[in-house]
Structure 1
Amino acid sequence: MEHRTLGTSDLKVSVITFGAWAAGGWMWGGTERKDAIKAIQAAYDNGVTSIDTAPIYGQGTSEEIVGEAIKDLPRDKVQILTKYGMRWDLANGELAFQSQDNQGNDIDIYKYAGKDSIRKECEDSLRRLGTDYIDLYQIHWPDPTTPIEETMETVAQLIKEGKVLQAGVCNYDAEQMKEANKYVQLASNQVPYSMVKRDIEADVVPYSIENKKAILAYSPLERGLLTGKMKPGYLFSEGDHRAGLYFFKDENLKRTNEFLEKIKPLADEKNASLSQLVIRWTVEQPGITIALVGARNAEQAVQNAKAIDVKLSQEEINFITEHLNKLELVKA
């Protein structure tokens, strides 16, 4: 496994990082706890030492699963990336959206990153994870109701106290990153990035490269779209958020699969799956530091980890990108 340093920090993380959103079950049609734990442990056995989670994923379930999975591992060999700033148990800040928990109960999700809230969230996360420090603590979404200064100064204090090692943000634009960095040394920004979602190349990527900030790309397989396994007519299980996304409309599944068929010979030549080829292409893009990839079971986790074994020349990267640039998805 390859490891890369986050920005100017001393924190090194595995280029393939385990994304534990689906492990929490929430918005993914449920989860099988034992399978999720085995997936994380199998990933670790294959060099994936970094795990990204969040309290909101299953309303604590994902963090608990991560804590269970790593409890017998040497703590200094694992990097825990978690988040704060999305509350389902407190009506404060900006109402982000309404949802249902894993038991089917209605919940309201708020973006809130006030000082006292962050401190409570941090203590709750430490307890669920079974650890006394968090390697990378990230605001989950911008909170328009709380000054960035208040939020970031609180995290800076947590770093002084040793409860957090490094500060990160998620879903911030370049201006928000610039503001946040005034109050705490930012290591990274976690943002959506995939072959079919490359808008960060306009501002976040140039800013991050110039200012030596890491980019953690989430959903590099676009929630399964880029695996080549989803065909027109695909049926999602109840509670799966993907059913309403334009990426998964039949026409877009058709167009995406036509593109994937064009690059499949290269995957075959590398003795790799399409998913592995896509992941490797992603982490070779300018400014992209690591890719967060989820897995529901051990087999998926192992296959994700092996994406790092795929070696691409610049000519091969260009070949993929040239075909990709001809792909147009229907957004309506």
Structure 2
Amino acid sequence: MEYPSIGTSDLKLSAITFGAWAAGGWMWGGNEEKDAIQAIRAAYDHGVTSIDTAPAYGQGASERIVGKAIRELPRDKVQILTKYGLRWDTTKGVFHFKSKDNQGQDINMHKYAGREGIIKEVEDSLRLLGTDYIDLYQIHWPDTSTPIAETMDTVSDLIRQGKVRHAGVCNYDATQMEEAAKHINLVSDQVPYSMIKRGIEKELVPYCIENRKSILAYSPMERGVLSGKIHPGHVFAAGDHRAGLFYFKDENLTRIQRFLDSIQPIADEKGVSLSQLVLRWTLAQPGITVLLCGARNATQAISNAKAIELSLSESEVSSITEHLNELRLNPDA
């Protein structure tokens, strides 16, 4: 495993970090707690020491499961990343979207990162995670109803209190990051990035490289579509949010599969899975520091961790990119 430094801080994360959204079940058609715990522990045994979660993932379920999974692990060898500012239990802030919790009850998600909200959330997270500090605390989504200064000043207070070690953001653009950095030592931005979703390359990546901020890429497998295991006609479990997404429409699944078939020979030559090849290419892109990889079970977690063992030459990365550039998928079309 590789352990890059995050931003200019002394925080080091595993290059493959365990993404625990699906562990909470919410929007993924449910979960098996036992499998999620085994996946986290298997990942740790293979060098994945960092775990990313959030209160919203199962409305506390993911954080609780992560807490159980790491209970017997040495705390100083595990890096906990969690978030704040995506609420289902208040109408403050900005309405984000309608959803259902794991019990099928309607909930409304709001983006809210006011001072008193953050103070409540950090205490809830510490309790559920069973720890007295969070290694990287990140705003989940920009909250336009709260000044960035108020949000970041509050997190600065939490750092001084020892409850938080480092501050990051999620889903911020370069302008928002620049404003946040005036109020706190911001080390990272967690954003969606994959072979077929590369919009951040235009502005955010250059900003982060120039200002020495790390990019934590979430959904590098584009919610599983780049594994090559989801084909036209696939039926998702009830509550699985992927069913209506652009990339999972039959015509796009067909086009994506055509691309994956074109790079399959490289995976075969290397003796790795297609998923491992996809992950390694993604990590090789400029400005990308860490990949957040979800896993439903220990087998998937181990496969993700072993992607780091793959070595790709510059020419191999370029060859994959050439095939990719022929795909031309536009989710905004």
Q: CA deviation at 1:330?
A: 5.5
5+ residue gaps, structure 2: none
- Residue 154 of structure 1 is matched in structure 2 by 154
Cα distance, 1:330–1:10 mapped onto 2, change above 3 Å? closer
Q: CA deviation at 1:138?
A: 0.1
- Residue 55 of structure 2 is matched in structure 1 by 55
Matched, 1:189 2:189: yes
Matched, 1:139 2:139: yes
Q: Secondary structure at the match of 1:194?
A: coil
Q: CA deviation at 1:329?
A: 2.3
5+ residue gaps, structure 1: none
Q: Secondary structure at the match of 2:4?
A: strand
- Residue 20 of structure 1 is matched in structure 2 by 20
Q: CA deviation at 1:111?
A: 0.2
Matched, 1:163 2:175: no
For residues 261 and 98 of structure 2, the distance between their equivalents in structure 1, rounded to whole angstroms, comes to: 38
Q: CA deviation at 1:328?
A: 2.0
For residues 294 and 40 of structure 1, the distance between their equivalents in structure 2, rounded to whole angstroms, comes to: 10
- Residue 294 of structure 1 is matched in structure 2 by 294
For residues 183 and 34 of structure 2, the distance between their equivalents in structure 1, rounded to whole angstroms, comes to: 40
Q: CA deviation at 1:90?
A: 1.2
For residues 268 and 17 of structure 1, the distance between their equivalents in structure 2, rounded to whole angstroms, comes to: 25
Percentage identity across paired residues of the two chains: 69
1:193-232 matches, cutoff 5 A: 193-232=193-232
For this pair of structures, how many residues does the alignment match?
Answer: 332
- Residue 279 of structure 1 is matched in structure 2 by 279
For residues 222 and 330 of structure 1, the distance between their equivalents in structure 2, rounded to whole angstroms, comes to: 14
For residues 183 and 329 of structure 1, the distance between their equivalents in structure 2, rounded to whole angstroms, comes to: 38
1:1-332 matches, cutoff 5 A: 1-329=1-329, 331=331
1:49-104 per-residue CA deviation (whole Å, 9 max, x = no partner) reads 00000000000000000000000000000000000001111110001011000000
The two structures have a TM-score, normalised by structure 2, of 0.99
**Contact 1:247-1:253 at 8 Å conserved across structures:** yes
- Which stretches of structure 1, 4 residues or longer, exceed 3 Å deviation after superposition? none
**Contact 1:16-1:305 at 8 Å conserved across structures:** yes
1:131-166 per-residue CA deviation (whole Å, 9 max, x = no partner) reads 000000000000000000000000011001000000
Task: Tell me how large the CA RMSD over aligned residues is.
Answer: 0.6
For residues 167 and 246 of structure 1, the distance between their equivalents in structure 2, rounded to whole angstroms, comes to: 32
One-letter amino acid of the structure 2 residue matched with residue 103 of structure 1: Q
One-letter amino acid of the structure 2 residue matched with residue 96 of structure 1: H
Q: CA deviation at 1:205?
A: 0.2
One-letter amino acid of the structure 2 residue matched with residue 285 of structure 1: Q
